[in-house]
Amino acid sequence: MRTPFISANWKMNKTVDETVTFFKEFIPLVNDAKDVDIVIAPPFTSLQAAASIIKGTNISLAAQNVHFQEKGAYTGEISPVMLSEIGCSFVIIGHSERRQYFFETDEMVNKKIQTARKYGLDVIVCVGESLQEREAGKTFEVLKRQVVSGLKDIPSDSLVIAYEPIWAIGTGKTATTEQAQEAHNFIRDQLSALYPEASKEIRILYGGSVTPDNIDALMACPDVDGALVGGASLKAESFAKIVNFKRSL
């Protein structure tokens, strides 16, 4: 039985003040949420404030990125040691915006996962194809490459995968439930080749224009175990609705 996992990805949004305001509204709205893992990934500058405000709640913290060294001359970077110390439990690795704008490769993704795991962070590893790749019939090829190279020599425990088709991110164009299920099922097959025993336990999240209106249908897909939510996670009320999605029987 895979516990649903709903994570916010705030990207480069919210000051410390805005973060505190969000949590004051959000915490009471999800206080009673049961059997769901709730995770929020604010920008680095808001992590400390978020960590103190969520103490004793059912919410966990994620960072949006991490460097693959524990310390050193890497101006502008943040190490896994720093994230653990501040109270992060998770880190998002390999988001398509990092791959696209900051030239992260599968090898870098793999190194980041290794270091994050070494310092006790659980990882949310993002994979997903571009529109061009989908239209060229290369979706499965891309997903296979990202999963196999990204997860090389990585143990299966504490691993969460997020399938985020790039064409659905921030566009309002969600994948259909058929497209999501097909991709998730394919990813699960890849995972079962890597982790014959554990693959059934690994949560695979869907990301890309998730809203309170489409979450129920997405969560009803057998291989969709949660969501990674950008735009719709910025408002407490809308993200709480997603966390409190209606379960199909």
The residues carrying an active-site annotation are 95, 164
210, 215, 224, 240: which one binds ligand PGA (CB under 6 A):
210
Q: 203-207 and 226-229 as β-strands: parallel, antiparallel, unpaired? A: parallel
**230 lines the binding site for ligand PGA (CB under 6 A):** yes
CB nearer to ligand PGA: pick between 143 and 195: 143
Binding of ligand PGA at residue 125 (CB under 6 A)? no
Residue 30 or residue 169: which is nearer to ligand PGA going by CB?
169
Applying CB under 6 A, which part among 43-51, 141-149, 193-201, 206-214 lies near ligand PGA? 206-214
Dihedrals phi, psi of 89, to nearest 5 degrees: -100, -30
Minimum distance between the CB of residue 21 and ligand PGA, rounded to whole angstroms? 20
CB of 94 to ligand PGA, least distance (A): 11
Could you write out the three-class secondary structure of the chain?
CCCCEEEEECCCCCCHHHHHHHHHHHHHHHCCCCCCEEEEECCHHHHHHHHHHHCCCCEEEEECCCCCCCCCCCCCCCCHHHHHHHCCCEEEECCHHHHHHCCCCHHHHHHHHHHHHHCCCEEEEEECCCHHHHHCCCHHHHHHHHHHHHCCCCCCCCEEEEECCHHHCCCCCCCCHHHHHHHHHHHHHHHHHHCCCHHHHCEEEEECCCCCCCHHHHHCCCCCCEEEECHHHCCHHHHHHHHCCCCCC
* Touching ligand PGA, residues 66-105 (CB under 6 A): none
Nearer to ligand PGA, 113 or 242 (CB): 242
Does residue 228 belong to the site contacting ligand PGA (CB under 6 A)?
yes
| Out of 169, 175, 180, 187, the residue judged to bind ligand PGA by CB under 6 A | 169
Closest separation between CB of residue 61 and ligand PGA, Å? Answer: 16
212 or 231: CB nearest ligand PGA: 231
The answer to whether 58 touches 38, Cβ cutoff 8 Å, is yes
Name the residue nearer to ligand PGA (CB basis): 195 or 239. 239
Q: Please select the residue that binds ligand PGA; options are 212, 231, 236, 242, rule is CB under 6 A.
A: 231
Residue choice 229, 236, 240, 243 for contact with ligand PGA (CB under 6 A):
229
